[in-house]
Amino acid sequence: MNYFEKANDFYNARLYVKAIEMYKKAAAFKENEGASLYNSAVCYIKLNQYSEALELLKQAVTIKKESKYFFNLGYCYAMINNYKKALVNFNTAWALDNNDSECEKAINLIIKKQTK
C-alpha cells in the first residue's frame, strides 16, 4: 500500500493528524501530489487550522487547477475574514465549474456581508 492509500484510510477513519502525515509523505514522493496536498489541506480544515490549509492549497493549485481546490481556498480565506481573497477564489472556482451552486451561495453571502 502506498502513502496516499494509507492516508485515505486514516482520513476515512477521521484520524486527520495521521492522514496529514501520510498525505505529506505521499506529496514528497510525488504520489498523486496535487491530490495529496489538497487532501492534507482538507484535513487541516476539518481541524479548523485554516492557515495551514491555505499553504497546502496554494501549492496544490500550482499543480492542478480544479474548482474544489479554489473553493476551499476561498473557504479558508473567508474563515480568517479575508473576504477579498475569498471572493477571488470562489469566483475562480465558479469560473471552472459554473454549475457549482455552492460557489454562487458563498459569493452571495460574502457580498451581502460586505454591503452591510
Per-residue pLDDT of 7-25, as tens digits, reads: 999 999 999 999 999 999 9
| C-alpha span between 96 and 98 (Å, rounded) | 6
Q: Residue-wise over 44-68: b if at least 16 C-beta within 10 A, else e?
A: bbeeeebebbbebbebbbebeebbb
What are the grid coordinates assigned to 2, written together?
502506498
Domains of the chain, earliest start first: 1-64 (1.25.40.10), 66-116 (no CATH)
Quick one: cell of 17? 493528524
Nearest to 60 by CA among 93, 15, 14, 95: 93
Give pLDDT, residue 76: 97
Dig out the grid coordinates for 83 from the structure.
473576504
**What is the average pLDDT across 46-65?**
96
